[in-house]
Chain A
Amino acid sequence: MTGSTAPARPDERGRFGRYGGRYAPEVLIPALEELEAAWRELRDDASFRRELDELARDFVGRPTPITHARRLSEELGYDVWLKREDLAHTGAHKINNALGQVLLARRLGKERIIAETGAGQHGVATATASALLGLPCVVYMGEEDTRRQAPNVARMRLLGAEVVPVTAGTRTLKEAVNEALRDWAASVATTHYVIGSVVGPHPFPMLVRDLQRVIGDEARAQYRERTGADPEVVAACVGGGSNAIGMFTAFVGAEGVRLIGVEAGGRGTRLGEHCASLTLGEPGVLHGALSYLLQDPDGQVVETHSISAGLDYPGVGPEHAFLKDAGLASYVSASDADALAGFRLLARTEGILPALEPAHVIGWLAHRPLPDGTRVLVCLSGRGDKDLDTVLRAEGGGA
């Protein structure tokens, strides 16, 4: 059963257990209420679903396939299948959310789209959806990230988006979200903010989850069709956590299925060296929701590090915090070095260059943390072309 009914989470106050909520400035509350009401109505609306499903099929290329990773399986001693979100248009799962939200914005009569982006994949996806649906788009991106991910800046501009480098603070994803929230506070009457992950004030974690759950709904059905059973382990990388929630939702509570999220362990376990909010953080509020957070004793949010810009975020979606505390999913971390090793391993064995984000999952598997023969389904959330420079530089220019 893949089921299409919405999970009972969050509750009416936007809570996943104790997590989530709406820690938002007063000026945004009416828009958040409007968005919540619209989504609760539209997510089951036949004409909206039809429009979104047609675009998913004809424009994004859904369903994305699952691939039996035979040579990787042989090398690791597991039976590994990959859910190929890297084959979705624009090269990552981000398009599922961006397209749904821009379509929703048009239904709401909004005239302008804004987004934040870290690695640039969400920015490219939102610029793409805005181009397709004919809405102007502004993308906030930390100045540091505009340098790390210059090709994606060029892509967004070609797609007609305005890219605004953010020079505040750490000049990375966290600051880009702050700046997008500030823009939205000023422009909320005419503008929709397409948040890129399962983070933010209610209803965003629910909305983005609902739009990404297609990953797991497809994958579970495909896997059962091909193998006749469910996988024993479902694994995905977790930064904000949208591909992981998208993958996990179809499996939460399924008997015999373990859900494992892999966070970015960076270069060490001290604050500032990693982005492992679930494994090393403590509850706190960032960007409108209560979740696990990397923070100091005064509640200041600390700087983070990951080789992968898409995981370089000190918070995490509140539903992951709930799944962790409830024992419904478990979370581990993989280092920068693991990610690089995973990148090379998948390229060599399967002919796939993964994005550095899901390369963390492959790198974690390469440590053989599971019993021999385990049946594993991995969400390959994006492709690695964007990361070639980073990979080559990290390896001293030799590949």
Chain B
Amino acid sequence: MGLLEERLRAVRDGGAKAFVPYVTGGAPGVDAALLRALAEAGADAIEVGIPHSDPIMDGGVIQDASRLALEAGTRTDDVLATVAAAGLEVPVAAMTYANPVLRRGVDRFVADLAAAGVAGLIVPDLPPEESEELRGAAAERGIDVVLLAAPGAAPERYRAIAREARGFVYCVATYGVTGARDRLAETARAVVEGLRGLTDLPLLVGVGISTPEQAASACAFADGVIVGSALVAPLVGGDRAGALALAEAFRAAIA
């Protein structure tokens, strides 16, 4: 068990709910100081995106943030350097897509994550059947590879995900990509309940958690939430104070 899983289990076992903000590395306003401010705002872990040219699981907000980051010349190593410079006490999970990982080579990629102090890794286009090599290499470095579970999967698929996931299970709340939704999808509860009896890993809900109220609703059945686009939108718009105030509001709503 890595630091990410250890921390999120401790939150859950202490009767609290986990708040995990996501920001896109290299996007406007995202630097080491922002990561520290998110930790101070009460994040239990922070998910930092390594921007990719083809973010197929992301909606408009994170697509734009990724594009801006890449246009500004952000490299994978820049994001890792930002994480290292932040010197956070809370664990960081990196999020990226398969090709940046495979291009560098699985072993070197996880070694570089470990060297930067990253504790977890989320790769949405590496489902269990394609991520075996990565999971093995990451385990050797103490990095938890988080797997996603989505609506509509058969029970045996949830069982495989529950067996192979480390850190937490990323319960995808709804059909579709990241970005704001008017309401918390009904499917979120079904995913969490589908996994609950299969694993004692923390079950966090993400994708479409847009407001503190939705986060609170999700935490009625889940162990925490991941909040991305709602925070990235004000950041990219230049409103860093607004993003941090919103992070505090999310934290307060699920305390």
Contacts and interface: CB of A to CB of B under 8 A. Distances in A.
A25 B52 contact: no
Select the residue from A13, A26, A30, A283 with max chain B CB neighbours within 10 A: A26
B100 A189 contact: no
Contacts of B172: 26-27
B53 A22 contact: no
A182 B53 CA distance: 15
Contact of A185 (B52, B103, B175): B175
A267 to B, nearest CB: 22
A325 B54 CA distance: 26
Interface string A8-46: 000001000000011111110110000000000000000
A188 interface: yes
Contacts, number: 112
Contact of B103 (A13, A188, A284): A284
Given A298-B100, A301-B53, A301-B54, A27 B151 contact: yes
A295 B99 CA distance: 9
B244 interface: no
Contact of A286 (B70, B99, B151): B99
Nearest to A29: B127
A185 B57 contact: yes
B63 interface: yes
A297 B77 CA distance: 11
Select the residue from A27, A174, A284 with max chain B CB neighbours within 10 A: A27
Contact of B130 (A22, A169, A182): A22
Nearest to B172: A27
Nearest to A182: B177
Given A181-B56, A299-B99, A189 B125 contact: no
Given A284-B99, A301-B53, A25 B130 contact: no
B152 interface: yes
A25 B124 CA distance: 5
Interface residues of A, number: 36
A290 B75 CA distance: 22
Contacts of A299: 52, 76, 99-104
Contacts of A189: 152, 175
B53 A300 contact: yes
A293 interface: yes
Interface string A229-257: 00000000000000000000000000000
B175 A186 contact: yes
Contacts of B59: 182
B127 A284 contact: no
A173 to B, nearest CB: 12
A21 B152 contact: no
B183 interface: no
B153 A30 contact: yes
Nearest to A181: B56
B162 interface: no
Contacts of A30: 152-154, 157
A29 B102 contact: no
A297 B102 CA distance: 11
Nearest to B70: A300
A355 interface: no
A293 B177 CA distance: 24
B196 interface: no
Nearest to B64: A168
Contact of B125 (A13, A25, A168): A25
Contacts of A284: 99, 102-103
Interface string A143-184: 000000000000000000000000011000010001001100
A125 to B, nearest CB: 23
Contacts of A169: 53-54, 67
A288 interface: yes
Interface in A279-307: 283-288, 290, 293, 295, 297-302
Contacts of B98: 23, 285
B150 interface: yes
Given A186-B176, A286-B54, A288-B125, A25 B150 contact: yes
Given A26-B149, A29-B157, A168 B63 contact: yes
Nearest to B161: A26
Contact of B54 (A22, A26, A174): A174
Nearest to A14: B129
6 contacts: A13-B129, A30-B157, A189-B175, A299-B100, A299-B101, A302-B53
Given A169-B54, A186-B175, A284-B99, 8 more contacts: A13-B129, A25-B124, A25-B148, A26-B148, A27-B172, A29-B157, A286-B54, A295-B99
Considering the complex of A and B, which 10 residue pairs feature the smallest CB-CB distances, nearest first?
A299-B103, A186-B176, A27-B150, A299-B100, A299-B99, A26-B150, A300-B53, A285-B98, A26-B148, A285-B99
